Structure 1
């Protein structure tokens, strides 16, 4: 007998998808009037992709197993895309144009490409492998923290760190299938989805602060001083 899905399976990401659509409409309107920024567009695309595919996959009562498997792979691929879109948006908006930005971009998108190839080519028998890859991808930016601290103020770093912590917590819950508070309504997977939404919100706040600064003609989010910039530039060369 097939196991019954929890009542709220997919609903959390569905709600997040609808909210993201509303924010996207506001962003498009403001960008037409004020200023369009591809960095923020990249972040929004990552959100729409993950929340849209995830809610579709989890809410659909699949009749065709092949189609279900395809959407399951798309769901897993969208996690890699979300991480890269978020990391890319963060460094492109909150760091100046220094060499380290390109290194971070190359690293995060290389991991995403390898992750996509793994999902397409290798059977998803061992869930823990995918969870581990997502976590490695997420923390791949940690070695660059000493650079980020030179340019990003404490409040923005607070959001970055806590967003990462919530993502890791979500990965642990997903991997352990615990806690599973109300299996018929709100199970471990729903806890995982809630944690991912909280994590995404942590990353969204500094990006929206940055865009607010852009459209109002104030700081673009780079909190550096000239001597710090020179020091990092020299270090990168």
Structure 2
């Protein structure tokens, strides 16, 4: 995609959107392997939900950041790009809540998780111009609820899976901080702070993919 710039306006970094496009393409066969390797009906459903949310997040981000579009479509894609973060958080919590919580409780946990995701996403769309700290607070709040599932992965899939789940969470946090503070910004015209954010999110998703694979297989 050729970037058009007006005099005095900085070009977007060359790598803008490419990382998430690559990870979207990788997520498709990875999702198939995850679902194929899942053992049991519940594990298959959990794997499909997780794989679907990861692919949806990366695909929407790639579409928003890489494809030229008119202003109205750009605004729509921006909303979808932001919404996919809520979807990914809920999707990431689905496998442990589905498979590692006692049967009598996992339905409640899943309903609460996805209901919170729907509510926070709706509030975000209703206030797209809200202060960044308020928006970040909704992400952090939902992620905190999802984070309650991390010990379950450790207990039910072993320390390696648990360590990967924790590492993925820390990488997501590091990415959020890089985005919020616009640092580090190594090469603004090629690979800026936004690309650092995307790289950390991709690394976090990779860790979680491995952890979920250990949980469902």
Corresponding residue to 1:109 among 111, 114, 135: 114
CA RMSD of aligned residues (A): 2.4
- Among 126, 144, 154, which residue is 2:131 paired with? 126
| Alpha-carbon contact 2:153-2:211 (below 8 Å) kept | no
2:62 aligned with 1:55: yes
- Tell me, in whole angstroms, the C-alpha distance in 2 between the residues paired with 1:103 and 1:126: 32
Q: TM-score, length-normalised on structure 1?
A: 0.78
1:86 corresponding residue in structure 2:
92
How far did 1:96 drift?
A: 4.5
Q: Per-residue deviation at 1:150?
A: 4.9
1:66 corresponding residue in structure 2: 72
Alignment check: 8 A CA contact 2:93 2:149 kept: no
CA separation in 2, counterparts of 1:35 and 1:84?
A: 21
Inter-partner Cα distance in structure 1 for 2:213 and 2:155: 21
- Could you tell me which runs of 5 or more consecutive residues in structure 1 were left unpaired when the two chains were aligned: 214-237
**1:14 matched to which residue of 2?**
21
Residue 24 of structure 1 is aligned with which of 22, 31, 50? 31
CA displacement, residues 152-176 of structure 1 (integer Å, 9 cap, x when unaligned): 5322221121111111111111111
Considering only CA atoms, is the larger Rg found in Structure 1 or Structure 2? 1
1:7: Cα distance to partner?
A: 0.3
Compute the displacement of 1:139 (Å): 1.9
Aligned 1:1-237 pairs, distance under 5 A: 1=6, 2-26=9-33, 30=36, 37-62=44-69, 64-93=70-99, 95-143=100-148, 150-211=155-216, 213=217
Task: Please give the alpha-carbon distance, in whole angstroms, between the structure 1 residues aligned to 2:102 and 2:200.
Answer: 32
Distance in 1 separating the partners of 2:32 and 2:53: 15
The residue aligned with 1:216 is: none
Pairs aligned (count): 207
Indicate the larger mover: 144-153 or 97-106: 144-153
Instruction: Classify 1:81/1:184 alpha carbon distance in 2 versus 1 (closer, same or farther; 3 Å).
Output: same
Cα pair distance change 1:180/1:144, threshold 3 Å:
same
Distance 1:148 1:102, change over 3 A: farther
- Mapped to 1, the partners of 2:25 and 2:87 lie a distance apart of 19
CA deviation after TM superposition for structure 1 residue 56, in Å: 0.3
Unaligned runs of 5+ in 2: 1-5
**Cα deviation, residue 75, structure 1:** 0.2
Find the residue that maps to 1:167 and give its secondary structure: helix
